Amino acid sequence: MSPTADPSTVLVVNAGSSSLKFALVDAGSGERVLSGLAERLGTAEASLRTSGHDGTHEAPLDGSDHTAAVAAIIEAIGRLDPALQPVGVGHRVVHGGERFADSVLITDEVIEALEEFAPLAPLHNPPGLLGIRAVTATWPQMPQVAVFDTAFHQSMPPRAYRYAVPEDWYAERGVRRYGFHGTSHRYVSGRAAELLGRDPADLALVVAHLGNGCSATAVLGGRSVDTTMGLTPLEGLVMGTRSGDIDPGVFGYLDDAYGLSAHAVTTALNKESGLLGLSGLSNDMRELWQARNAGHPGATLAIDVFVYRLAKSLAALVVALGRLDALVFTGGIGEHDEDVRAMTVSALGFLGLRLDPVRNADHGAGSAGRIGTGEGPEILVVPTDEELMIAVDTIRLTRPDASEE
């Protein structure tokens, strides 16, 4: 029997330059029917690891590129259930420029646009295109959807997204603030409204997505009105290996002092800075806490700078809202590091934020995400689910009648 499309199941793909992460998601329940990772693509050691109802499996790929990875994923789905076929494939795409304010069905015109945006996200968009082309080559009739990290932030007003630079930089080259992690911020702000029992249209939230990459967003009435990342994911908060905000004069200074090119400085700011650069030890917050507790000065400095810059940015985002109804933490650090949350909220006490230490230690698990005392603005921990958000968008665009069922 040939497989038929399951009306609620979506294959979610997040392609990197040498890896491809995937999840077969039931968009109704959020269940991961099958998930896995193809890694070391482009080498003789390329392999695919899957995890599903039939257990965990790992095997070398018959071929080493993204197309071979997609073919192996299709085979894994068939082994799990020969009658199962997703209704579509949803791709995480980092940069959609100004053109895309929502997720879209992928067409030849969309692919051309993504190629145009590649210079704005050279580390992310080209791998995303590899994933799209691999699915096209393997499943030519399968509908595909692009879900953009930047789309949620297209509601920002010009005062928030424009840089104070020559007009032609913006008009001709698109030099402006785009923001990222939009899929996470959109999901988490919506989920926070559900947990609070409030209409998103009536809420003023600051959402802090804290992981190896970090950003914070002011969400007013369900729409992004300001965010910390900019033209690229390098701007804003201190991150695992990224510097966040830095004086652009550093480029000329390091060129004069060491002969470093703009490319070399940008690479160092992306890959050798942040928590790693400050500590000289690690970009992993868990390791830094262990080292800080053992008296490591670099780890102590890294955490102090991370929290200070985070608190300062969160306070600044309240300006875009005019008030604060809730502060929401998400991402690996935001969801699991009670000490970072405690230090951050302590620094923001002037906003009326009050943390409940017991709820905070429990990460809000027993209190519907709430970790505040109930006085002043709410404080929540909300686990993010970008894959589910991508799956929901894919259903919406491939099955426009689904909302009527």
**Partners of 85 in the β-ladder:** 5
Tokens of 347: 């620094």
Instruction: Give the span between the Cα atoms of 161 and 176, in whole angstroms.
Output: 6
- Amino acid, single-letter form, for residue 85: Q
Q: Taken in order 209, 215, 216, 220, is the CA torsion positive or negative?
A: negative
Q: Going by DSSP bridges, is the β-strand pair 214-220/104-105 parallel, antiparallel, or unpaired?
A: unpaired
- Amino acid, single-letter form, for residue 233: P
What H or E segment, with its residue span, contains residue 10?
A: strand 4-15
Instruction: Give the span between the Cα atoms of 60 and 42, in whole angstroms.
Output: 12
Q: CB–CB of 306/340 below 8 Å?
A: yes
Closest alpha carbon to 96 in 111, 85, 75, 74: 111
Tell me whether residue 339 is one of the annotated catalytic residues: no
Instruction: Give the span between the Cα atoms of 34 and 23, in whole angstroms.
Output: 6
Cα 44 to chain center, whole Å?
30
Instruction: Kindly calculate the radius of gyration of the chain based on its CA atoms and give it in whole angstroms.
Output: 22
* Catalytic position from the list 149, 226, 325, 393: 149
Q: Taken in order 241, 243, 248, 252, is the CA torsion positive or negative?
A: negative
Q: CB–CB of 227/216 below 8 Å?
A: yes
Instruction: Give the span between the Cα atoms of 333 and 339, in whole angstroms.
Output: 10
Active-site positions read: 149
